[in-house]
Chain A
Amino acid sequence: MTLLAAEDIVSGYGKVEILHEVSVHVKEEEMVSIIGPNGSGKSTLMKTIFGMVEAWEGRVDLLEESITGVPPHKVVRKGICYVPQERNVFPSLTVEENLDMGAFIRKDDYSGELERVYEIFPALLEKKKQTVGNLSGGQQQMVAMGAAMMLSPRILLLDEPTAGLAPNLAKMILNKIKEINDTGVAILIVEQNAKEALKLSSRGYVLAMGKNKFTGNSNDLLENAEVEKLYLGG
């Protein structure tokens, strides 16, 4: 069943149109990659889905309910969480407080989710009283993803979770993402390590110049000569 459907999205900043009718679908429990060169509108697409950037045209549906134009602080209540590419933690708060903020809208007991986050990212448990600003880039990324998991979302939107990380750390983070996906959380990921991301995903979308360029199963995309040459760095 389709979990998230973004249909014919047109959006941008100010008067500049970045996305020209882009469509993306994610089924339940699926992991889907969005790849494409810089400036192709990948991040803008994520922000538009999450309501941080207004959709000029088109619609976004979550479980067949429209979330078009719903502001971020309301859309999180519907089972979708987003991890921005940059500035995705509260640096002056501790690890624990960051996770608390992830669960901000919850009024019930969320110790189960907290435990699950520490299970997936054991490194965070040791540092839970530390200020996040003093952690390494990889650990900060774990905090960002952990905080997004606190609401037990149906789907996680991840914008370049490995940006600026060393290759071995990037691989570790991607594997953690797969681990999260295996627990039944659908993932829509924008990733610079396109090949690695596609290998973990079931399907992928290639964006170029703000349009859908290629769409297909990950294996087909990985074997497509043109995609390989243009977007996977041969």
Chain B
Amino acid sequence: MQLIVNGILMGAVISIGAVGLTLVSRILHFFYFGYAAMLVYGAYLTMTLFNDVGLPLILAVLVSLPLLSLMAILIDKITFKHLRKRGTGPFGMMVVGIGLELFLRSSVRLLWGSDVMRYDLPIRRAILLPFNVRITPNQFVIIAASLILMLLLHLFLDQTKIGKAMRATADNIDLAKVRGINTERVIMWTWVIASISAGFAGFFLALDTRLVPIMGWKLLLPLFAAVILGGVGNPYGALAGGMIIGISQEVSAGFITPTYKPAVAFIIMTITLLIKPSGLFGRGGQ
């Protein structure tokens, strides 16, 4: 039972992170490895704003998001935008993305150092729930906040014009242009959503564990697994995929050495690719 709760917690972190990744992957047409760095920057920026600047934690997170968005859009403008104009293929884009990830991760070491860090929060005791389940107040906040975020993301994608345009662009970017949608603007909005998604996932992960520059890279495999399981470009699939990956990873710890947790994500991803490459909720597509 404790493992399932841990799984839901991990699933919440992965789900929130996977939504941004799935939209970026589909709309930009490649798997962006630099997304890991966005998570890390989200966690570290929040830490600086909270520990050093002294903002309340919630405000620190909310202030970090526009900074993260600005950074993502700026990176897009100086790298991917030019490559898109030149018609660079997904492979070239992916290599640039890996380069960016290495660069950005190193810049985290440069700015904040390689030491393990944490948010300056008082340590609070875990709450004991029925079935002998322990959950810390932080973990409770993470799960509750994830649910609210999921609802907000749903409302954004389902109800707003730009949200619909984003799903349309994810479906078919050429047709989106034919319909008069300024796809460059949609791409900008995609980076904003990706930043919110990555920022919160990074913050949640750091809140539950610690801050290390490598944390984003470690979460990237489960994130990709969730994206692929849910069908690339399907935000609802990514949410469900994230939960499935999170829960299976944690529950597996009851049977195998926890060191092999990432392998579980990898196995699920491989099986999905072999049996249903379009994802659980995919409908074929391109």
Contact = CB atoms under 8 A, between A and B. Distances in A.
Interface in A139-191: 147, 151
Interface string B170-184: 111011111111110
Contact of A104 (B171, B174, B180, B285): B180
B181 A93 contact: no
B108 interface: no
Given A101-B165, A104-B165, A82 B178 contact: yes
B180 A90 contact: no
Given A92-B167, A104-B165, A87 B174 contact: yes
Nearest to B283: A133
Contacts of A213: none
A71 B181 contact: no
Nearest to A71: B177
Interface residues of B, number: 22
Contacts of B167: 90, 92-93, 97
Contact of A105 (B172, B175, B180, B183): B180
Given A52-B174, A104-B161, A91 B283 contact: yes
Contacts of B178: 50, 52, 72-73, 76, 81-82, 84
A93 B163 CA distance: 11
Contact of B168 (A87, A101, A151): A101
Contact of A147 (B164, B179, B285): B179
- Chain A contact residues (Cβ within 8 angstroms of B): what range? 20 to 34
Contacts of A116: none
Residue in B165, B168, B174, B179 with the greatest tally of chain A CB atoms within 10 Å = B179
Interface in A64-95: 71-74, 76-77, 81-82, 84, 87-93
21 contacts: A52-B178, A73-B177, A73-B178, A76-B179, A84-B178, A87-B174, A89-B175, A91-B285, A92-B167, A92-B171, A93-B171, A97-B167, A97-B168, A100-B164, A101-B165, A101-B168, A101-B181, A102-B179, A104-B179, A104-B180, A133-B283
List 5 tightest A-B contacts by C-beta distance, closest first: A105-B180, A76-B180, A90-B171, A72-B177, A90-B168
Interface of A: 50, 52, 71-74, 76-77, 81-82, 84, 87-93, 97, 100-102, 104-105, 133, 147, 151
